[in-house]
Amino acid sequence: MTRPDIETSANGDEPVLVAEKISKRFPGTVALDGVDFTVYAGAVNVLIGENGAGKSTLMKILAGVDRPTSGRLLLKGMPVEFKSTREAAQAGIGIIFQELNLYPNLSISENIFVAREITRNGVVQHRQQEEITAKLLDRLEQPLKPGTLVRDLRMGQQQIVEIAKALSQNVRILIMDEPTSALTSAETEALFRIIADLRANGVAIIYISHKLEELLRIGDYVTILRDGKLAATAPARSITVPWMIEKMVGRNVNAPRHRTPAISKNDPPVLEIKNLTLPRVGGGFTLENVSLTLHRGEILAIFGLMGAGRTELFECLMGLHPEASGEIWLNGRQLLHESVRDRIELGLVLVPEDRQRLGLVQKLSVAQNITLANLNRLVTWFWLSDKREAEEIDIMIRSLAIKTHSPKQSITALSGGNQQKVVIAKSLLTQPQVLMLDEPTRGIDVGAKAEIFGIMNGLAEKGLAVLFVSSELPEMFTIPDRVIVLSKGKITGQFLHDELTEEALVLAAGARQQTEHPVPAGQTN
């Protein structure tokens, strides 16, 4: 007779890991409240929910990072309790975290084998490690050298290293938390082929993502959390995206609307870039003759695939590449040798793609992160005004609807969407003329995305010039007034909102040469 705790699913799949009535309480909050979660062998077990729903907390418990306040775990029908990630790994459970856990000063191979090096007579076998790493990278269709330092990799490539590190271990249960958030479409397809291979070999995949369409494509079972509780569970073949959104959000999510910007053709641009060129080490160009304009109250999107030069464009605007040539004009003033701080004071500010490493200080509170870059504005006669600081913090928390129990709460206790709002709040306190956002919705849920776009719309209505980068095609059809496409460092297309089509954007993103596309006077690039 089959035991009740290892009953097979409707598909005939056998549970390999079962979480029963899992609860996790932190001071002032309940992250999980009696959650049941079943993981089936040889299947893709999808877990979704809004930021703050408890997904990452549950995964940390399964991977041995945290221990539950109450409830139990059953591995192949037997109770288990993991006191560390090492114990979970020994039981065959691996995890790929959403926030990268790599050492930038070490090579790819050294990161993959960190704390479990291959040794012979006490000597680390670097050549053997690099050979294994090369095979893993080849499997992931990545032409990277194992000896490359991680700090020299772009975000998507670092994500691939995390995946390779997990694959290098003999896992039977693999947790993937937002594995495609920084990947190109080609890299995503390569990952899906790996997942299919693992699934065919009986590995259980726990897959977390906010990209709902891809979940139905690769998932077998879907479990939805909301506010720390189990909201629904169902076979993937029997559900739809609207059903998932309804169960996940539990409320109406208003899609961001494009509004008509109040731009006069006679108004001078607040930002103008002329023939910006950034040479690439070893020859060629990362950016080549990029020119564009941005007006007050306008939202301009930069669309392109990984490696198109999008992030490098923002870095040039912030003065991080002195080797770049061309002209950058801000409010009629040409920027030449100004430092990053100087450019911020002049009205340029950047919300970086990697909010954990570049946008936030993990050891500080919500309040401290908001005001950290703006303390000079809150000082009177060499003294920090606690009253003014508290007022500014309160205004930002209320105006951006940052969900936090207290301004003194640790920034790490906030969901990804609310952490992103904190980075935006910090940027807005600098009183910018131009707000730049690099992948502002990376790794956040559908509800938080709508909120972030709503914030951007509201800022533009108040006259702020907004420039944002995204590799997500659907985001181009939401709030941008114009879209400029970058491919291999060149502008290959530019479109007004009403002229956008998916076909045109995809063709331009894969193009090599500049394409001509007329734009009405007053809104040219």
Q: Give the residue-averaged pLDDT of 399-415.
A: 86
Q: Give the chain's mean pLDDT.
A: 86
Percent of residues in the chain assigned helix, strand, coil, to nearest 5: 35, 25, 40
Question: Quick one: pLDDT band at residue 7, thresholds 50, 70, 90?
Answer: very low
Q: What percent of the chain has pLDDT over 70?
A: 92
Instruction: Give me the pLDDT at residue 234, please.
Output: 94
From the list 231, 310, 270, 232, the residue with the least C-alpha distance to 484 is: 310
Structure tokens at 321: 């590449």
Whether residue 304 has pLDDT greater than 90: no
Cα separation, 11 vs 221, in Å, equals 10
Instruction: Give me the pLDDT at residue 166, please.
Output: 85
Whether residue 465 has pLDDT greater than 60: yes
Domains and CATH numbers, the chain: 4-249 (3.40.50.300), 253-347+432-525 (3.40.50.300), 361-430 (no CATH)
* Whether 444 contacts 353, CB under 8 Å: no
Whether residue 521 has pLDDT greater than 60: no
Cα separation, 141 vs 130, in Å, equals 16
* Whether 208 contacts 60, CB under 8 Å: no
More confident residue, 62 or 420: 62
Q: In the sheet that 221-226 helps form, which strands lie side by side, from edge to edge?
A: 93-96, 173-177, 204-208, 44-48, 221-226, 229-235
Whether residue 330 has pLDDT greater than 80: yes
Placement of tokens 């129990």 in the chain: 405
Q: What are the tens digits of pLDDT across the range 173-212?
A: 999 988 887 777 777 888 898 899 889 989 999 999 888 8
**Kind and range of the H or E run holding 16:** strand 15-26
* Whether 435 contacts 348, CB under 8 Å: no
Instruction: Give me the pLDDT at residue 524, please.
Output: 39
Whether residue 220 has pLDDT greater than 70: yes
Other Cβ atoms less than 10 A from the Cβ of 501: the count is 10
Cα separation, 155 vs 194, in Å, equals 20
Cα separation, 409 vs 425, in Å, equals 16
Q: What are the tens digits of pLDDT across the range 273-297?
A: 999 999 988 788 999 999 999 999 9
Q: Give the residue-averaged pLDDT of 164-171.
A: 86
Q: What are the tens digits of pLDDT across the range 426-459?
A: 999 889 999 999 988 887 777 778 888 988 999 9
More confident residue, 363 or 519: 363
Structure tokens at 28: 């002032």
* Whether 94 contacts 163, CB under 8 Å: no
Instruction: Give me the pLDDT at residue 174, please.
Output: 93
